[in-house]
Each structure stands twice: as C-alpha cells, then as structure tokens.
A and B are shown apart, each in its own frame.
Chain A
Amino acid sequence: DVKVTQSSRYLVKRTGEKVFLECVQDMDHENMFWYRQDPGLGLRLIYFSYDVKMKEKGDIPEGYSVSREKKERFSLILESASTNQTSMYLCASSPLGRGGNQPQHFGDGTRLSIL
C-alpha cells in the first residue's frame, strides 16, 4: 500500500513564525500535492509538483511556498504565519498517469493552529 506520511498530526504556532510542514511518500510517485481543508469549502489546492525541484501554483498559493529537493519529500512553508492560515493541511501523491487518470493518495493531515 502507498504510504504518505505527514510529519505532525497537530501543530500550534504563533503569528509571524515561519512554519514547515513535511510530507514523505514511499511509492516513488512523480506527483505531490498540498491542500488545505476548511469546513464548507472542501479541499483547495495550494501547490503541486510534477518532479524534483519543480512546482506549480494551485488555487490559493498566497502566503505559502514549497520545496521539493528529493522525489519522495514535499515541504509546505508558511513564510509568516497568520491566524487565517489555521486549517487542516493534507498532502497527497500520485503516479504519473495519462491525463489525470491515477488516484491521489493522502496522508492523515496536519491540523495547524496559529495563535
């Protein structure tokens, strides 16, 4: 089975801090994704990556950046955390497929609170 591991289940940080969320997948997948999940809004894509050192903006990239130095690891960075970034963050990975016909596999999520 595919395993997507997020480094923390729960995280509490302060406004203005630089926050790192880490995600590791063990199936040699090319694609990795970061979403945030908020009640009533579903999942919104922040950033995704198709390859090492490659990144693409999703629907809500403002206030975030990402890093993919190794194929198995995709990091989400909150440059200067703000209270409106309190949310559940989900990482996902998928293999390279034809036009998106491969499912995404999700980690258990990190519930981040910014005080």
Chain B
Amino acid sequence: AQSVTQLGSHVSVSEGALVLLRCNYSSSVPPYLFWYVQYPNQGLQLLLKYTTGATLVKGINGFEAEFKKSETSFHLTKPSAHMSDAAEYFCAVTGSNTGNQFYFGTGTSLTVIP
C-alpha cells in the first residue's frame, strides 16, 4: 500500500529565505512521486515529478525535489522564497501496483513573510 506524510501543516518563511517542505512516503513498490501547488480557489498544478532516472528533479518556478530511497523522502526545496510562492503544497505517491490511483498528503500551507 502507498501513503504520504507531510510534516508540518503550516510553514512560514521570510521572503528570500530557503523553502523546505517535507514529504515522506510509504510504498511497497518503487514509487512515482509528485508535488503539486494549489493557489487559493484554484485546482492543483503540477510542480514536478519523479518517475525514474535522476533523483534530483527540477520543476517550475525554481522548485526542486530529491528522491532519497534510503530515507523514503521526497522533500521540496526552493533556494529563495518569493511572495508569489504562498500557497498550499501537496505531495503525492503512486506505484506500479496502484494503477493510476494517487495517494495525497494532507498538504502544507506556505506563508511568505515580507
């Protein structure tokens, strides 16, 4: 079975500071991992994904994430936060035995302080 844990339902950072949003997963098969962003009153938008290959994945808006199998983690980072990064972020996992069903974390709300 697959599941996702996002540590910290709320994270606040200063503008220009490092953004680190944590995601740990559980999977009985090699996972596929995704990060999505949700702005207020909108749907989810794909930030980046890991399926196979390079473990450091670059996404849109300067975000990146690193798949660490030994730590079962897929943390999302951005070197310098911008006011426009304030949003809800969701980590999701799926795998070869789930068909196309995704398992989402409960989300992390990012606040950027000017």
B14 at interface by CB-CB < 8 Å: no
How near does chain A come to B60, taking the closest CB pair, in angstroms? 12
Given A43-B90, A90-B43, A108-B43, residue A100 in contact with residue B100 (CB < 8 A):
yes
A39 to nearest B CB, angstroms? 9
Task: Give the interface residue-count category, chain B.
Answer: 20 to 34
CA distance A108 to B40 in the complex (A): 10
Docked Cα-Cα span, A70 to B37, in Å, equals 29
Q: Does B80 contact A (CB under 8 A)?
A: no
Count A-B contacts at CB 8 Å: 70
Is A50 located at the chain interface by the 8 A CB criterion? Answer: yes
Q: Complex Cα distance A104/B36, Å?
A: 10
**Smallest distance from the beta carbon of B45 to chain A beta carbons, Å?**
7
Given A43-B90, A94-B100, A104-B102: A99 touches B95 (CB 8 Å cut-off): yes
Chain A interface (Cβ within 8 Å of chain B)? 4, 9, 31, 33, 40-43, 45, 48, 50, 58, 90, 92, 94, 96-109, 111
10 smallest CB-CB distances across A and B, nearest first, come from A99-B96, A100-B94, A106-B43, A42-B106, A43-B104, A106-B44, A101-B51, A108-B43, A100-B100, A103-B46
